[in-house]
Every structure is written in C-alpha cells, then in structure tokens.
A and B are shown apart, each in its own frame.
Chain A
C-alpha cells in the first residue's frame, strides 16, 4: 500500500500545471541541445542553474531532470541520423542506428528508439517506486574493488561491440585506456603525458574524440566513396516500425530495462555501462549476430531502453546518498543544495513530495517526449535527404561550434581535426571506434578505483577476488573472455583439419 501511496503522492505533485510546464520546458530544451553535437546537457544545465533559484525546489529539479533525459533522447537522434553521438551512451545507438538510417530505415530507428526509451522509462519508474530504499543500500555495498571489477567486465563486454576481429577490438580498448591516462594524475595531481600543455591537464575531451572518431571520420570515409551507390539513401522509408519489428524488440527492451535499472544505481558510469552491456547481451542472444553493426533493430532497442532506465535509476544514489553519477547529476546535487536540501538519506523521508514528484515527473516527461517526437520523426528523418554537399559542411560547422563552446578553447578544434583523421585511419584499418571510446571513458574510473581499492586493502591485490561481488564480476569477465577465445581456437583447429 505504501507503494501506491507514494505513487499517488508523486503524480499529484508532478501533475500540477506549474510542474507540468517546467517538465515540458525541460524536455523540449533537452531534446534541442541533445540534437546539436557538442552542446550537451551539462552546458545547458550550467547555464540554466541560476534561473532555477527563483523556482521552488520541485519545479526546478523537474526541469533539470527533463533537460537530462531530453538530451539523451536528442543525442540518440543525431547518433542515428548523422553518426554523431554527443553523449557516451549514444555511441552504442550509433552502431546500428546509423546503419539503419543509411539503409533508408531512419524513421524506424528513430521511432523504435523513442518507443524503447518510453517503455523503459515506464518500467524504471516502477522499479524505483518499488525498490528505491533497497537499491540505495546496494549502492553502498559497492566499494572501490567492486567498481574496478565492474569496469573490467564492461571493457571485456565492449569487445563484443565490434563485428570482426576480437583482437583488434581488444587493441582498441587498450588504445582508449592509454589515451585516457593523459592529464593530471588522479591521486597526486602531477601532470602526465601532457607535454607541458595546460589544455591537456584535464585530459582529452570525450566529446571532441567522439565527434572526431564518429562524425568526422565518417564524413571522410563517405567522401572517399563519393559517386558509388548505396552510401546515402534518398528515401526516408516507412516512419513507424512494423508490428514484426516491434515484436522483435519486446524482449530486448525488457532485458535492456532490467540491465539499465540495475547498473544505473551505481554512481559513476553505471548508466553508460548499461547500454554497452545490453548491446553485448542482445548480440550474444541473437540467432544472427552477424546483423549487429549492419542495422539490427534490436541493437537500437536494447541499448536505448537500458540507457533510459539507467538514466532514471541513477537518480537514486544522487537523491539518497548525495553521490552524483556524472557531471549532470553533480549539477543537480548543486541545484538541490542551493534550494537548501542536502541530498542524503533524509530526502526520501523528509521530502517525500519532492522525491516521488521527481520520479513521477520522469514518467510524464518520457510520455511528453514520445508524443512530441513521434510526429517529429519525419522531420528529422528528412535530414537524410539533404545532399551531402550541404550536409557535410553543416555538420563540420556545427561540430566545430559545439566543440569550441565546450571550453572556449581553440586547442580543442585542433584536437577535433586530429581525432577525425585518426578515426578515419583506424576505420580504414578495420578498427572500430566503439570499443576505443569505451576504453577511453572507463579508463579514469578503472585507474581511480583500482588505486583506491589497493590503498584501502593495504596493498593486497586479493581484495578483488575475496569480496564476493567483485569476484563474481571478475569471474563473469573471465568467462566472457574465454567464450570469445574458444570459438577462435575452434575455428583454427577446423582450418588445420581442412588443410
């Protein structure tokens, strides 16, 4: 009964005209900034933060949350249409979504992304309502050793993102890890591999790398094959997914939601890992794994569901422990603190209307996104019919503006050029950007948690295998690695036999 009472309280809070208005404002704004490469939710929320002071705590948090998941949504749109993931999590959506768009199924991809996000959002809302108190204690169980092992598992999973050689994918993961070491040392603050450049003190920017590796590299590749058929399709295709498509996506959506809800509660990259994990799982479970990376609709549905569910459950550690999962959440914590609410175990009991209202508003916001975006799918998809002579310069311009606006730093533009060319070279070598990006994003977490775990265990590496959760995660990683290695060994044996 508690659950029902909580839900009722939440919906009655979220459904006031004022809160509905700010929810709408946030989601629309979020979608808009998500669509522009480079200009992400962090910049927007930072700019809007002063504005929220004059609002009450509930409407301001509802609006900021709306920007956050609205941007996830808009990010998927550019990932699918232009191969430009603005957020780490939409890098996965780009894998199959962009291929679908190239095959003239942009409408399908966009619609299924919207539908899966909404379905996952709905389910995740219930997960939060039912399990929020339990989930926050699970997050406490996760110490440095557990995080380290989780990241290791995520990195191993990422190899499955690539279609083709596992060795190359592993190499790309390692390359990403290496590049992520650039910047000031997490423990001592000493600069590493920065060649004395202060611009590199904070490391290489993720958005710069991803826009370069995906967007610019893709443009370069397309220019090379100019004139050949099949690069771009002038048809948008049916907008709404067929019933068969929807049926194929039900299970991936359910699995994605489960993974997302679970990993989302882990502060620091949980939501991001969930979309990678979901993609890996769908590829493994599929009867035709070869289709993944060639425009498999499950490869869009699962990760989009996971991503959205994770984005929602990542509010749990933020609200109950004051632990932000990412930069956006950190700003939400700041917004709460400014409103005089100290995030912590007391929020749920002392501010139930705020807590449950925020949760309910997420569901309402997701509904708004669906209603707003389904009619817009046709408009977005028409982007694909713009001739390349117009589209490419426009993408380059917007990317450059977006990247420059991150820090107002010309250095970032040079970095964008370098990563674009590097991305192109790697594409030509048959090395894929997704595992690289995951290695790059998770590298700092891997290092930080490993060093912290080792310090806390007084230098005893056994901590990674004696703690049950950590050991379980590492075991899973080992199994995944073996599963990858064995088919390869088996294949080699077969070859020997044939010869």
Chain B
C-alpha cells in the first residue's frame, strides 16, 4: 500500500517537474545555459573562421554572461568538427562554427558521408566571406584570362586549397575559361597563403588572411571570387565580370546538433544575432574585408539546402569530385 502511494506521489511529482520547462518555454522565458557551452570550430586557430568566431562568442559572453569553451578541430577540412556536432547531445551545450560549404557541398564529395546537411540544425551566420584569387606579386598574369593563357602555354599552375568549396569554385571558373591547375589541400588559410608567399604554390583562394600581404605588396589579386569587387583592390574585376561564371557564397555558419528543444535553439539564435549586430563585429568584418550578415536560423537552413541542391546538380559533371 505504502509503496503504491509512494509511487503515485512520485509520479505526480514527476509530472509537475516534467511540465515545468514546457510551461516556461510557452511563457517565453528564455533558456539559460547552466554550464559553459562547447564550441567546435572546424578550422585551425588563427584562421579567418576562428578569428571572427571567437570575437562573436566573446561578444555573446559580454552580452549574456555565458561562457564558451572553444575547440579547434580542423581535421579533414571541417568534417571532423561537423561529425562531432552531429553526434553531440542536442542540449545546447555543443554548437559548431563552420562554413556553408561544409554542409552544402562536402557530404556529397566523399564515398561514405558521415553526415548530411539534413542531420544538422542551423542557427545563424556571422558574415559572408569575400574570397579572392591571389598570386605572388611577380607572377606573369594579372587576371583570369591571362592566367588561362599562361597555363595553356606553360602547363598547369599549382593551387593551395583551404577547402573543397574553394577547389570546386576554382574548377568551375577554370572550366569556363580554360585554366589548368592542380590543387593541394592545406589545413588553413594561413598555411595556404604562406605557400604562395614562399613560392611553393602559384595561386590560392583566400578569404581575408591575404589582405595584409596585398597591402604590403607581396601578393596581388587576380579576381574577386564573390559577386562584388574587393574594397582593397577596387580595380580588379570579379570572376563573374571576367567571364568565370561562378561566384562563391560562403558564410561563417553556426550549427548545432539536430532536434534541439525549440527554446534552446531560439535562445542561441537570438544571442548570436545580437552579437553579430554589435558594432565590434561590424568593424571587425570590415577590417577583415568580409560582409557582416546574419541570415538567421531559418535563412541559414534555406541557404544551405538551396546550395546543396545546386551542387548535387553540378557535381556529376565535375572532374575532381569523382
């Protein structure tokens, strides 16, 4: 008897306890993290993703009083970080910072993908990465057409690549204009740029790390690889203007394990949005020649899905993806 009553009472307790969080969420009371949130960054420390990501997280810490523990997991060009996020518990205590290409493109490039764009929740973007194709100052070509002519005469150029999306962007443009190149993957944009600076690779596509070297005259821009010209090289046409036919749309993208509770996801998305909107992030994005923009949770997810459909259509024709 006693046992049964005890059971009943505890069942009632459990019901009350279980009801509480739901009631709170309904009242619009935001979720509050009770311990530090782990952030897995899919690129090496000091690279452009890491830099802007840490700054954004720091802003959130200031604004909300939360704590983040950042982990740089740069293996396999972000795949390890994406898998890490996918397999983490969806409780809001693990999020990831990668880029659009890691989800819209990368899973379709490996034989046994360990994650798909559908396996992940998207919570917002920090900025659009303004890529440029750069070469050493004394390279015998100044734009895509000259580069194409050069490779026709002298054979392929070497290309240090920081990610598959950059590889394929180079391939799409090259296909159109007849540029021959060989790609060598590196573990970060700092390393890619260093290879060009040291004369070990001819060209690279970089999203910001190269700018100081453009300004000190050691590197030059051959083409802006997004749909606008670079502020620091306004005289150089975009790849679209030069007939390359493709512009990269890649964002610094916050992701989380699938199926987070709605209040957790909304809180995280709000916190990130507020930080991205702060003047510091705007300044920093401008300083590193990226465009600050948060597509929001839904916008980011839609963008990833749209781009993934586009890549799935194009990829079967790609040479390098086979």
Task: List chain A positions with a Cβ less than 8 A from chain B.
Answer: 46-47, 49-50, 53, 140-145, 183-191, 198, 201-202, 321-324, 330-331, 333-334, 336-338, 340, 342-346, 448, 451-452, 455-458
Do the beta carbons of B184 and A455 come within 8 Å of each other?
Answer: yes
Cβ–Cβ contact A185 & B197, under 8 A: no
Whether A202 lies near B75 (C-beta < 8 A) is yes
On whether the beta carbons of A334 and B80 are closer than 8 Å, the reply is no
B54–A188 contact, CB under 8 A? no
Measured in the bound complex, the distance between the Cα atoms of B201 and A456 in whole Å is 6
B69 and A322 within 8 A (CB) = no
Say if the beta carbon of B79 comes within 8 Å of chain A.
yes
Residues of B within 8 A of A (CB): 44-46, 50-51, 54-55, 58, 61, 67-72, 75-77, 79-80, 83, 87, 106, 110-112, 114, 155-156, 158, 160, 182-187, 190-191, 194-195, 197-201, 209, 212-213, 216, 284, 288
Note all chain B residues with C-beta closer than 8 A to A457.
Answer: 158
A476 and B222 alpha carbons, distance in the complex (Å): 40
Closest 9 CB pairs of A and B: A189-B76, A333-B46, A143-B200, A330-B45, A455-B184, A140-B198, A334-B45, A189-B79, A337-B51
Pairwise interchain contact A50-B158, C-beta atoms closer than 8 A: no
Q: In the complex, what's the smallest C-beta–C-beta distance from B102 to chain A, in angstroms?
A: 11
In-complex Cβ contact of B70 among A144, A190, A198, A334 (8 A):
A334
A190 to B213, CA, bound (A): 34
B46 engages A343 (CB within 8 Å):
yes
Contact indicator B195/A322 (Cβ below 8 Å)? no
How many inter-chain contacts with C-beta < 8 Å in the A-B complex? 127
In angstroms, Cα B54 to Cα A50, docked, is: 10
A455's partner among B106, B182, B213 (CB-CB below 8 A) is B182
Chain A residue numbers with a CB within 8 Å of B44 are 324, 330
With a cutoff of 8 Å between Cβ atoms, the chain A residues found around residue B187 in the complex are 448
**A183 / chain B contacts, CB cutoff of 8 Å:** 75
Verify A337–B46 contact, CB threshold 8 A. Answer: yes
**In the bound complex, how far is the Cα of B47 from the Cα of A342, in angstroms?**
9
Question: Would you mind naming 26 contact pairs between A and B with Cβ atoms under 8 Å apart?
Answer: A46-B70, A140-B198, A143-B199, A144-B184, A144-B195, A183-B75, A186-B75, A186-B76, A186-B185, A190-B110, A198-B87, A323-B191, A330-B46, A333-B45, A334-B72, A337-B46, A342-B51, A342-B288, A343-B46, A451-B184, A452-B184, A455-B158, A456-B158, A456-B201, A458-B155, A458-B182
User: Is B58 within 8 A of A338, CB to CB?
Assistant: yes
Instruction: Report yes or no: B190 in contact with A456, Cβ–Cβ below 8 A.
Output: no
Beyond the given pairs A143-B198, A452-B186, 10 more chain A to chain B contacts, judged by CB atoms under 8 angstroms and listed by A's residue number, are: A50-B61, A140-B198, A190-B111, A190-B112, A323-B190, A336-B46, A337-B45, A455-B183, A455-B185, A458-B156
| Interface pair B76/A185, CB less than 8 Å apart | yes
A322 with B76: CB separation less than 8 A: no
Distance A239 CA – B201 CA, assembled complex (angstroms): 54
- Determine the distance from Cα of A338 to Cα of B156 in the docked complex, in whole angstroms: 39
Within the assembled complex, what's the spacing in Å between the Cα atoms of A323 and B77?
A: 17
Check if A142 sits within 8 Å of B198, measured CB to CB: yes
Contacts of B51 in A (CB 8 A): 334, 337, 342
Closest residue of A by beta carbon distance from B202 = A456
Chain A residue with the shortest CB-CB distance to B288: A342
Bound Cα distance A184, B83 (Å): 12
Which residue of chain A is the closest to B216 with respect to CB atoms? Answer: A345
What is the CB-to-nearest-CB distance from B277 to chain A, in angstroms, rounded to a whole number? 19
Q: Is the CB of B77 within 8 A of A189?
A: yes
Residues of B within 8 A of A50 (CB): 61, 67-69
Shortest Cβ gap from A488 to chain B (Å) = 38
Q: How far is it, in angstroms, between the C-alpha of A323 and the C-alpha of B195 when the chains are bound?
A: 11
The answer, among B70, B155, B194, B216, for a CB contact under 8 Å with A321, is B194
User: CB distance B194 to A140 under 8 Å?
Assistant: yes
Report which of B160, B200, B209, B216 forms a contact with A322, defined as CB distance below 8 A: B209
Known contacts A46-B69, A50-B68, A337-B50; A452/B185 CB under 8 A:
yes
Closest Cβ of chain B: how far from A195's Cβ, in Å? Answer: 14
B195: A residues at CB distance < 8 A:
143-144, 456
A451 to chain B, nearest CB (A): 8
Q: Quick check: A202 and B111 within 8 Å, CB to CB?
A: no
| B110 engages A189 (CB within 8 Å) | yes
Quick one: closest A residue to B112, CB to CB? A190
Bound form: Cα–Cα A190–B114 in Å:
9
Instruction: Name the B residues within 8 Å of A187 (CB-CB).
Output: 185
Residues on B with C-beta less than 8 A from A333 are: 45-46, 50
**With A and B bound together, what is the CA distance between A321 and B197 in angstroms?**
10
Task: Please report the C-alpha to C-alpha distance between residue A398 and residue B106 in the assembled complex, in whole angstroms.
Answer: 41
Tell whether, in the assembled complex, residue A140 and residue B45 are in contact, meaning their CB atoms are under 8 Å apart: no
A187 CA to B320 CA, complexed, in Å? 13
A143 to B61, CA, bound (A): 40
Given contacts A50-B67, A452-B184, contact A188 B190 (CB under 8 A): no
Tell me the nearest residue of chain A to B106, going by C-beta: A189
Minimum C-beta distance from A68 to chain B (A): 14
Which among B183, B187, B194, B284 has the highest number of chain A CB atoms within 10 Å? B194
Contact A324 B46, beta carbon cutoff 8 Å: yes
A322 to B193, CA, bound (A): 10
Please indicate the chain B residues that have their CB under 8 angstroms from the CB of A340 in the complex: 284
When C-beta atoms are compared, the residue in chain B nearest to A336 turns out to be B46
* In the complex with contacts A189-B75, A342-B212, A322-B54 CB distance below 8 A: no
Question: Which residues of A have CB within 8 Å of B45?
Answer: 324, 330-331, 333-334, 337
Q: Which of B58, B158, B197 contacts A53 (CB 8 A)?
A: B58
CA distance A183 to B284 in the complex (A): 36
Structural contact, B110 and A334, CB atoms closer than 8 A: no
